[in-house]
Amino acid sequence: MGSYIVRRVLQMILVVFIISMVAFFVIQLPPGDFVTSYVSSIAAGDRITQDAILALRQQFGLDEPLLMQYFRWITNVLQGNFGLSFQLQRTVGDLLAERLPLTLAITIPTTIFVYAVAIPIGIYSAVKQYSVGDYLFTFVGFIGLAIPNFLLGIVLIYLSTRYFGGNVGGLFSPEFENAPWSVARVLDMSRNMALAIIIIGTSGTAATMRVMRGMLLDELSQAYVETARAKGLSEWRLIMKYPVRVAVSPVLSTVGFTLPAMISGTEITATVLNLPTTGPLLLNAVKSQDMFLAASIILILSVLTVIGTFISDLLLVWADPRIRL
């Protein structure tokens, strides 16, 4: 076990290193750089001299070879300095400190929501296969999968404003936007967050529900379930103890990479919902070739993913005694 962990950690460091490099270079792939896209975004009337452009390039270090830029950036990152966002003229560290907590505050509850809703429904659907309830959940599940998150977001925003007088997107209703913290403000935020959680979590819930159902159906017909039944255990008790236990561990173990996937997978939804998470920030950074910001976010996501996968694997080893390291 110990040597396995050491081996995995070394692998993880290598993987993160490669990802950081790939991310950095891929952002540079489109022709031009931040200065080009900056210049073209400035109103056509303002003329910018070649000298000014050169000066800008020099200031940002964009005139150096790519490899040099990368090594300077990564050395700084290792010292905790993620560099500067060209566009926003603030340090990347500041921006992340602002956005990451909220991102986590939305994605962690969403992840919990996904599993807490999907697993019981999946169990019910499998045990009561072909019942009215199973058909209903299957139907709802396919709709949940088929509707893009942002569309669901728009529909829910419409419904909530139309019938419940909620606000349009954002984390706070207008009256609380700049209000000091209070119970009412927290409640208001929770309500908007609940909306975000449902929207972001629906497709994941639908998918996880189907996976859980399928896994459990496979297990329900296994011989060991019959052995348990022959012992005289009651049906629900034996189902929860045996087949569910076997079926749930691979499903649960995906928790490790669901979280980062959710963080990176919600740009569009977060944009539609106007949520100040890292998603829209990354989207913008990539669009404007704001390379340090974009590369830093991607780096953090990849670190989270790699760690998450590692945790998933450990969970699986812990849950299934058949897996030997």
Checking 160-164 for CB contacts under 8 A at 24+ apart, the result is 160/195
The reply on whether position 313 binds another protein by CB under 8 A is no
Give the residue, chosen from 233, 255, 283, 316, that forms a contact with another protein under the rule CB under 8 A. Answer: 233
Q: Least CB distance from residue 246 to another protein, whole Å?
A: 6
The reply on whether position 228 binds another protein by CB under 8 A is yes
**DSSP H stretches of helix in the chain:** 2-28, 34-41, 50-60, 66-78, 92-127, 132-146, 149-164, 183-220, 223-230, 235-241, 243-252, 255-264, 267-273, 278-287, 291-319
**Among 39-47, 82-90, 143-151, 316-324, which window interacts with another protein (CB under 8 A)?**
316-324
Residue closer to another protein (CB basis): 162 or 322: 322
Q: Which of 107, 73, 37, 57 is nearest to 299 (CA)?
A: 73
**Among 36-44, 94-102, 304-312, 317-325, which window interacts with another protein (CB under 8 A)?**
317-325
The reply on whether position 246 binds another protein by CB under 8 A is yes
DSSP string, 81-110: ---EETTTTEEHHHHHHHHHHHHHHHHHHH
Give the residue, chosen from 28, 87, 222, 274, that forms a contact with another protein under the rule CB under 8 A. Answer: 222
Give the residue, chosen from 168, 224, 287, 325, that forms a contact with another protein under the rule CB under 8 A. Answer: 224
The reply on whether position 40 binds another protein by CB under 8 A is no
The reply on whether position 131 binds another protein by CB under 8 A is no
Residue closer to another protein (CB basis): 248 or 306: 248
Give the residue, chosen from 124, 242, 257, 292, that forms a contact with another protein under the rule CB under 8 A. Answer: 242
Residue closer to another protein (CB basis): 40 or 234: 234
How far from chain centre, in Å, is Cα 137?
25
d(CA 204, CA 258): 9
Buried b (16+ CB within 10 A) or exposed e, 29-39: eeeebbbebbe
Residues that bind another protein (CB under 8 A): 221-224, 226-235, 241-242, 245-246, 249, 319-322
